[in-house]
Structure 1
Amino acid sequence: MPQWRAPTKGEHRWRAVAVVVATVALQLLLPNELVIRPWWLLPAVTGLLVIALLIVNPGRVSKRSPLDRTIALCIVAVVSVANAASAVQLVDGIIGGSIADRPGSVLASAGIVYWSNIVAFSLWYWEFDRGGPGRRATGDSRFPDFLFPQMTSPEFTSRNWRPTYPDYLYLSFTNSTAFSPTDVMPLRPWAKMTMMLQSAISLVIALLVIAWAVGSLKS
Structure 2
Amino acid sequence: MISAHWYSSRLQVTSGEYPEMIYDFYGFPEELSQVQYPAPGSPELAEQVRSLLQPENVELNPMRGFDHGAWAVLKFLYPDADIPVVQLSLNRLQPAEWHFNLVKKLSTLREQGVLIIGSGNIVHNLRAISWEHIDQIGAGYDWAYAFRDQINHAMTTQNDDELVHYEQFGENAALSVPTPDHYLPLLYVMALREHDEKVEFFNDNLIAGSLSMTSLLVG
Q: Greater strand percent: which structure? A: 2
TM-score normalized by the length of structure 1: 0.30
